[in-house]
Chains A and B, each alone.
Chain A
Amino acid sequence: MLEIKTAKTHKGKRELEKRAPKLVEGGKKTLILHGTKTSGVLNAVLTQIYQLKKESAVKYSRKNENIKPFETGGETSLEFFSLKTDCSIFVYGSHSKKRPDNLVFGRTYDHHIYDLVEVGVENFKPMESFNYDKKIAPKEGSKPFIVFIGEGFENVEELKHLKEVLLDLLRGEVVETLNLAGVDRAYVCAAVSPNKVFFSHCALRLKKSGTIVPRMELVEVGPSMDLVIRRHRLPNDGLRKEAMKTTREKPKKKEKNVKKDVLQGKIGNIYVPDQKIGEMALPNKSKGVKRERREAKRKNESGDDHAKKRKEDA
């Protein structure tokens, strides 16, 4: 026997609808978590990645013994967390003798692991070690510029893969309109050697150039680090093909109160709500306008009259 279970509250229903597969997807959320052991460097790396992605990231602070993304059976709990938090990118940090300061970037498709890239962190410089004018510090959640430098990103397979993953991780939400005044950060990734990528986070300083396009200046604000490629796993072709599917059609928004007519063209209904004069806010809330004061005044006046009368009597 099957039982139909539906969301009990409207809020719960909305939450489920948010998580349902959509025709056009928003940005991906990032899950940040540790393995059994992490080094101090790695802790700092994970925290700072979280700070960079704060508006769309979930950070777990506990140790996870049974997460080993590259091993079979080690991904079950990771996939569960991905489902639970609705995240489809994860950053997993672990530290071992064989692979010190190990960072695994991975993506999920339908809450199953899609691909994995493993890198080692070297020459890490945290945010705090950079001195700069705090006025230009990037705002949380601003859309970043992403820059990839070096032929390695095209020729070396691992780096090519890393480039795609980094782009997915850093780009934030896909937007249609962008406020040019809000452009304030850039990520620089440079393939320094075939297995090493220099990564840095910079603030943008827009200077006048005399033309419409301002002159850009990069100020390093950190974190910066070298990523040394270790293992990686590409998605199999079937899965990739499935995941790359897109549709041309855009989700239609229901048009209300608008009719189309052959002769008249577009006819719209406009509903104007009643003008509520009683609830209208007055431009100045002077003391005299207040009701209590008015009433109090009236009362006082009547009281004064009595007093006067009494005096006359006396």
Chain B
Amino acid sequence: MATEMETGGNQSQFEVDLGNLMAFDSHHTFSSSSSSSGSRAELVKECLNKGTELVQAIADSLFSLPSTEDIDGPLVKLPPPTTKLPRQKHLPKPAPPTKWEAFAQKRGIQKRKKDKIVYDEQSGTWKRRFGYDRANDEDAIPIIEAKPTDDPTEDPFAKRREDKKNRVQKNEKNRLQNLKEAAKFGALPSHVQLAARALPITGTQAAPKKFTKDELGNVAGMAATSTASGGKFDRKLAGEKPAQHKGKYRKFLPVVEGTGIGSLEKEQTEKVLNKIMSKNSHDILNVSKAVTMTNVKREKKRKNDKRSTSATDSKLKTQKKSFKKGDVKKGGNKAKGKK
């Protein structure tokens, strides 16, 4: 609907833009007397009266549009707005064709639809073409048959992995190249940004690493341990993490013997044994210690001999015994009484 000139009730003409629900009266003039000398209330009244007329004009054309009934009320399809207003952002720009797209165009290669599911030769089942547990996965082959032309020093599995890595890298490089080209036209996808990566300062030195959010959080946790209580009673900030365990964990050695960690136990026992052996070895005989030891031994022997002679004194012995017995009896009685 073009800008519509409608004749209102009062012989004046209004411009109505239904898309914006806008009406414009370009013929009305406010007398200078009403705006300056006349009271403001009058002016407002005049404006509102005129406004009512215009609103009525919009309503006239709006309510006469074909409407469909809805639960909430009659719905009307509005024509597009006739008043041109500027856009807020530029029109989306078409992305330039990628290298492959250009090549395919030149060669006349057309896209073909592929099935999502493919027959897997090895397992004899149907599997996904890509992704986890995919069909005909080269990396999952357990045995590669050797050919006479193969180089015996080369690991075919490692080679496969290396090749795959290179292919991924190459694809990533091509993708960046295509995105750069798109960026030149201002047609990058909205969720992609190309950012400059920090370059190493010198040839050998790597670029300073940026700390991730997690790492910074860990640093904060570690700093908390500098208090006497090890940060146990510190007030934690929202989202702060507990300190990472810095101490050693107890390790138990495997019981079963083997190589590596398995042999550690053997080493440990050997170590202990060696210590003891070296203690008893005569190379490091401490003379003074040996002398005192023999002295002490002799002293003990003499004491024992004395005891055996005095053991004949029966009186002392019996006395001791009776005393002990009574004590025991008393304790037993007490226990019984308690019960």
Asked whether any CB of chain B lies closer than 8 Å to the CB of A176, the reply is yes
A46 nearest CB across to chain B (Å): 21
| Interface residues in A133-191 (C-beta closer than 8 Å to B) | 143-151, 153-154, 163-164, 167-168, 171, 174-183, 186, 188, 190-191
> Please, which residue of chain B has its CB at the minimum distance from the CB of A186?
B55
Docked-complex contact B75 and A214, CB < 8 angstroms: no
Which of A59-67, A103-111, A302-310 lies at the binding interface?
A103-111
A1-B196, A180-B75 given; A174·B81 CB < 8 A: yes
Stretch at the interface among A15-23, A73-81, A273-281, A289-297: A15-23
A167 with B40: CB separation less than 8 A = no
15 interchain pairs, CB-CB under 8 A: A23-B92, A28-B88, A110-B90, A145-B21, A145-B59, A149-B54, A177-B77, A179-B70, A188-B48, A196-B35, A200-B48, A213-B60, A218-B51, A240-B86, A244-B84
Distance of A12 Cα from B19 Cα, bound (Å): 33
- Count chain B residues whose beta carbon lies closer than 8 angstroms to a beta carbon of A: 64
* A50 interface residue per 8 A CB criterion: no
Give the complex CA separation of A217 and B52 in angstroms.
Answer: 6
Interchain CB contact under 8 A, B29 and A150: yes
CB contact between A242 and one of B43, B90, B197 (< 8 Å): that residue:
B90
> Quick check: A244 and B86 within 8 Å, CB to CB?
yes
For the A-B complex with A148-B22, A150-B28 known, give 15 more contacts whose Cβ atoms are closer than 8 Å: A3-B194, A23-B91, A28-B88, A107-B88, A146-B21, A147-B51, A149-B24, A151-B28, A168-B86, A174-B20, A175-B78, A178-B78, A180-B75, A193-B32, A214-B63
Q: Give the chain B neighbours of A102 by CB distance below 8 A.
A: none
Which residues on A sit within 8 Å (CB–CB) of B21? 143-146, 171, 178
Complex contacts, B76 vs chain A, CB 8 Å = 177-180
For residue A217, which residues in chain B have a CB less than 8 angstroms away from its CB?
52
Contact of A151 among B19, B27, B48, B92 (CB under 8 A): B27
Closest Cβ–Cβ distance, residue B85 to chain A (whole Å): 5
0/1 per residue, B15-51, Cβ < 8 Å to A? 0000111111111111010010000100110011011
Chain A residues within 8 Å of B86, by CB: 107, 109, 114, 168, 235, 240, 243-244
The answer to the question of B193 belonging to the interface, with a C-beta cut-off of 8 Å to chain A, is: yes
Give the docked Cα–Cα distance between A129 and B90 (Å): 42
Most chain A C-beta atoms within 10 Å of own C-beta, residue among B88, B90, B196: B88
- Taking a contact as CB atoms under 8 Å apart, the answer to whether A108 and B88 are in contact is yes
Is A38 interfacial (CB 8 A cutoff)? no
CB closest chain-B residue, reference A165: B85
A179-B70, A204-B55 as given contacts; A192 in contact with B194, CB under 8 Å: no
Name B26's contact: one of A12, A111, A154, A220 (CB within 8 Å): A154
Asked if A286 is an interface residue, CB under 8 A from chain B, the answer is no
Q: Assess whether B194 is in contact with A198, with CB atoms less than 8 Å apart.
A: no
Identify the closest chain B residue to A168 (Cβ): B85
Closest to B194 in A: A2
A200/B73 in contact, CB under 8 A: no
CA distance A12 to B193 in the complex (A): 13
A-contacting 9-mer, from B130-138, B173-181, B216-224, B268-276? B173-181
Which residues in B have their C-beta under 8 angstroms from that of A198?
Answer: 43-44, 47
What residues on A are CB-neighbors of B64 within 8 Å?
A: 212-213
Please name all residues of chain B whose beta carbon is closer than 8 Å to the beta carbon of A16 when the two chains form the complex.
190-191
B128 CB, nearest partner CB in chain A, Å = 22
What is the CA–CA distance of A240 and B19 in the complex, to the nearest angstrom?
A: 21
Which residues 15-36 in A have Cβ within 8 Å of B in the complex?
A: 16-17, 19-23, 25, 28
B145 lies within 8 A of chain A by Cβ: no
Contact with A along B77-98 (1 / 0, CB 8 A): 1100101111111111000000
Cβ contacts under 8 Å, B196 to chain A:
1-3
B199 at the A interface (CB under 8 A):
yes
Q: Which residues of B sit under 8 angstroms from A186, Cβ to Cβ?
A: 51, 55
B51 proximity list for chain A (CB < 8 A) = 147, 149, 186, 188, 190, 200, 202, 218
Provide the residues of chain B in CB contact with A5, threshold 8 Å: 192-195
Docked pose: A153 CA to B56 CA in angstroms: 20
A72 in contact (CB, < 8 A): no
The 9 closest A-B pairs by CB, nearest first: A181-B73, A20-B190, A243-B86, A88-B88, A188-B51, A21-B89, A5-B193, A147-B54, A3-B197
- B266-317 contacts to A, CB under 8 A, are none
Q: Does A6 contact B (CB under 8 A)?
A: yes
Cα(A28)–Cα(B19), bound, Å: 16
The answer to whether B88 touches A216 (Cβ under 8 A) is: no
- Name the one of B55, B72, B88 contacting A25, with C-beta atoms under 8 angstroms: B88
Contact A4 B32 (CB under 8 A): no
Contact with B75, one of A17, A111, A171, A178 (Cβ below 8 angstroms):
A178
**What separation, in Å, do the CA atoms of A188 and B44 have in the docked complex?**
10
Q: Which residue of A lies closest to B26 (CB)?
A: A154
**A156, chain B: closest CB distance, angstroms:** 12
- How far is A4 from B171 in the complex, measured between Cα atoms in Å? 13
Residues A213 and B63 in contact, CB atoms below 8 Å apart = yes
Provide the bound-state CA to CA distance between A123 and B84, in Å. Answer: 31
In the complex, how many angstroms separate the beta carbon of B26 from the nearest chain A beta carbon?
4
* Interface status of A215 (Cβ within 8 A of chain B): yes
Is A171 a contact partner of B20 (Cβ separation < 8 A)? yes
CA distance A17 to B189 in the complex (A): 9
B78 with A167: CB separation less than 8 A: no
| A98 nearest CB across to chain B (Å) | 24
The 8 A CB mask of B81-117 against A (1 = contact, 0 = none) is 1011111111110000000000000000000000000
Set of chain B residues within 8 Å of A94, measured between Cβ atoms:
none
Considering only CB atoms, which chain A residue lies closest to B89 in the complex? A21
In the bound complex, residues from chain A placing their C-beta under 8 Å from that of B92 are: 20-23
CB distance from B218 to the nearest CB of A (A): 20
Alpha-carbon distance A214/B73, docked complex (angstroms): 15
